[in-house]
Amino acid sequence: MALRSDQSTTRDSREKITIRNVSRSYGSTRALADVSASVAAGEFCCIVGPSGCGKTTLLRAIAGLDDPDGGSILVDGDPIAGPGLDRGMVFQEYALFPWRTVRGNVRFGLDRPACDCPDCGARVRELVDLVGLDGFEDAYPKELSGGMKQRVGIARALAPDPEILLMDEPFGSVDARTRDRLHAELLDIWSQTGQTVVFVTHDIDEAVTLADRVIVMDADPGTVQLTLSIDLGRPRERTSRDFVDYVARIRDELGSPVDDV
Ligand code: ADP
């Protein structure tokens, strides 16, 4: 099988996110060094690499939660200026409000979280239903499993109907079976919403399972090593020859078993 690699960062009309020469240092640590990449509209893009290669820093910069020292990030060709409702974020450690119910947490993601009009109520019900939590609207986070908490996080991020969904190792804390189910559900939601997804993971298998395209990063300093299109249908069979070839290609690029880092 020919594995296509794509080093191009030239903006085209389908480009949703443009990352141009972004650098970010923390003291002497160069978390990102001249990183350029792009994500097409409607694309499911995974960023994979070992711990400390700058994945979270890059995602936070796209979210507008962190200011790079140099370079720029554009959405639809316009430089971002801080966080915006066009970009929803799902955090690794759920980041739910423990004193709010499922309904309350999801409602918080709405443009007008305090609004209790019928439309907002219907939107919350729709989101709870979308992530498979109907019947749990009145439960508190401490009553939920890790997978259920992350479903709440996804529903909350989707609440304002963002065009871009940013996900930072969202399934890192759930067991393997739950993760498989969440992968299928996430791909289902993505196919319904058509959002542009940027999904950070250190797990190569997870990246090849989900992505249209994988951005492979390396550490010290954080750089883009390779951008690889995953030309496989879905759902993907992890034991298939082509799947294994993609995983091996990324692992070779990194030169170390990322999953163990
Ligand atoms: P990854 O998500 O790939 O694990 P990060 O983006 O979290 O990597 O971190 C990249 C590098 O920047 C690491 O060396 C990390 O220790 C450092 N770093 C990240 N955030 C901070 C911070 N707030 N203060 C100091 N160093 C940081």
Strands (E), 78-134: 78-79, 87-90
Any ligand 1 atom below 6 A from CB of 52? yes
Quote the pLDDT of residue 257. Answer: 54
Mutational test site, ligand 1, from 57, 167, 198, max ligand atoms within 8 Å of CB? 57
* Rounded Cα distance, 218 and 224, in Å: 6
Q: If you search the block for the tokens 């399972």, which residue do you land on?
A: 209
Take atom 13 of ligand 1 and give the residue whose Cα is closest: 52
Convert the pLDDT of each residue in 127-156 to its tens digit. 999 888 999 999 999 999 988 999 999 999
Task: Judge if the beta carbon of residue 54 lies within 6 A of ligand 1.
Answer: yes
Overall average pLDDT of the 163-184 stretch: 91
Tell me the C-alpha distance between 208 and 2, whole Å: 15
The reported pLDDT for the residue numbered 258 is 52
**Is 7 a residue whose pLDDT tops 70?**
no
Q: Is residue 101 scored above 50 in pLDDT? A: yes
Candidates 93, 106, 85, 77; CA nearest to 18 is 77
Q: In DSSP terms, which residues pair with 90 in a beta bridge? A: 167
23 Cα: distance to centroid of ligand 1 (angstroms): 13
Q: What is residue 13's predicted lDDT score, i.e. its pLDDT?
A: 52
Q: Does ligand 1 come within 6 angstroms of the Cβ of 51?
A: yes
Q: Is the pLDDT of residue 1 over 60?
A: no
Which pLDDT tens digit goes with each residue over 222-249? Answer: 999 999 999 999 999 999 999 999 999 9
Hey, whose CA ends up nearest to atom 14 of ligand 1?
A: 52
- Across all residues in the chain, what is the average pLDDT? 90
Query: What is the rounded distance in angstroms from the CA atom of residue 181 to the CA atom of residue 178?
Result: 5
For the full predicted model, state whether its pTM sits above 0.85.
yes
Closest-lying ligand 1 atom to the alpha carbon of residue 220? 14
Query: If DSSP codes are grouped into helix, strand and coil, which group holds residue 164?
Result: strand
For residue 111, pLDDT over 60 is answered with yes
User: Distance between CA 216 and CA 12 in Å, rounded?
Assistant: 21
Residue 51 C-alpha to ligand 1 middle, in angstroms?
A: 9
* pLDDT reported for residue 86: 94
**Tokens of residue 97, six digits:** 């409000």
- How many Å separate Cα 65 from the centre of its chain? 15
Structure-block tokens of residue 80 = 């971002």
pLDDT attached to residue 93: 79
Q: Is the confidence at residue 19, as pLDDT, over 60? A: yes
Question: What is residue 2's DSSP assignment?
Answer: P
Evaluate whether 90 touches 173 at the Cβ level (below 8 Å). no
Pairing verdict, β 70-75 and 78-79: antiparallel
